Amino acid sequence: MVFLILIGLAAGLASALLAAGVAAGALLAVPLFYLSPLPVMIAGIAFSPLAAALAAITGGVGLWIAFGGTFLITYLVGLGGPAVGLSYAALLARADPAGRGGLVWFPVGGLVLLAAGFATVSVTIALFGMAPDYETYRAAVTAAFQVLVVSQGLPAGVDGHDPLAMATLIAHVLPGMAAAMAMVSQLVCLYLAARAARVSGTLARPWPNLAAFRLPPVTSLVLAVVLALSMAGGLAGLSASAGAVTLAGAYALAGFAVVHAVTEGHPARTLILGALWVTSAVLGWPLLAMAVLGFVDGMLDFRARMATGKGPPAANDR
């Protein structure tokens, strides 16, 4: 028990240090900020969920002491809490209902949706904590954007662009972008933590076939609901749009899984996958195509059609 407490304290301090750069206003520390859930997840996956919970509490208290109570709430809601939840869910298992004597682990698709949910909730709390209504929120974003324009020495209306219109556009897309970044960072940290646990021999669950993961069928219904809610306007509509973006991101990951699965054994597989990931990172628009592919695969199951004769995927893979 003492060992787990020490692990939790060390992981929490490491996580707080990674997040502290942004709290102190250092722009170059943003990448480290998004990696701050990693020590908490390593503690949870490689050691114990209790160690992860202690790490999250330690990190939050450390930021509270250094920067104030606002950072405690921000850390627990946006970073530490999701890290504890994802690391705990990743190790959930139940007896195989098919009676094969094994365990069915929490599915990868469920972890992706859980990350989407955590990201949406954190952005929603941030929105309503930032302003009581949309106009106040837009005014705050506009003021921040104008400060940025002045600090960069750009004249108003440079290149024919209206700074006020740009600020309004940013106010609309910012929640979705923030939710997408939070979701991706959580999943990347979860992957890295599981890899670290696997290398050290402390990963309790077998490594899943990521190319076989599927989203639950209810995902499409949830996406339709949040898309409808996003039309409502106001902060509620912005929150729903953040949820829609994260679910679209989940479908994009499913689309990438489809490509990984159907190119298995192809001589140009490395070239195809490398080009796809690079163009997606640089251009962005291939992500939309991947989201459509993932959505269609959820209905038509391309992988099952092309994998005839290979047998069904293991329960752990789905």
Local structure of residue 158 (DSSP, 8 states): G
Among 52-66, 89-103, 135-149, 155-169, the minimum mean pLDDT is found in 155-169
Q: Is 149 within 8 Å of 166 (Cβ atoms)?
A: no
Nearest to 313 by CA among 183, 238, 234, 209: 209
Q: Locate the DSSP E strands across 27-170.
A: 93-95, 103-105
Phi-psi region of 154 (alpha: psi -120 to 50; beta: other; left: phi over 0): beta
Is the confidence at residue 156, as pLDDT, over 60?
Answer: no
Domain residue limits, the chain: 1-215
Confidence of residue 26 (pLDDT cuts 50, 70, 90): low
Which two three-digit tokens encode residue 240? Answer: 């729903």
Is the confidence at residue 27, as pLDDT, over 70?
Answer: no
Residue with the larger pLDDT of the pair 284 and 152: 284
Local structure of residue 161 (DSSP, 8 states): -
List pLDDT tens digits, range 116-154.
999 999 999 999 988 888 889 988 888 887 777 676 665
Give the chain's largest Cα–Cα span: 70
CA dihedral 133, 139, 144, 145 (to 10 degrees): 120
Q: Is 168 within 8 Å of 193 (Cβ atoms)?
A: no
List pLDDT tens digits, range 244-257.
999 999 999 999 99
Q: What confidence score (pLDDT) does residue 25 get?
A: 64
Calpha distance 246→253 (Å, rounded): 11
List pLDDT tens digits, range 157-210.
555 466 677 878 888 999 999 999 999 999 999 999 999 999 999 999 999 999
CA 94 vs. chain centroid, Å, equals 25
Calpha distance 253→111 (Å, rounded): 12
Q: What confidence score (pLDDT) does residue 301 get?
A: 80
Calpha distance 10→218 (Å, rounded): 39
In this prediction, residues 89-117 reach a mean pLDDT of 87
Calpha distance 4→312 (Å, rounded): 39
The angle at the Cα of 223, spanning 219 to 227, to the nearest 5 degrees, equals: 175
0.85 exceeded by the pTM?
A: yes
Q: What confidence score (pLDDT) does residue 20 get?
A: 87
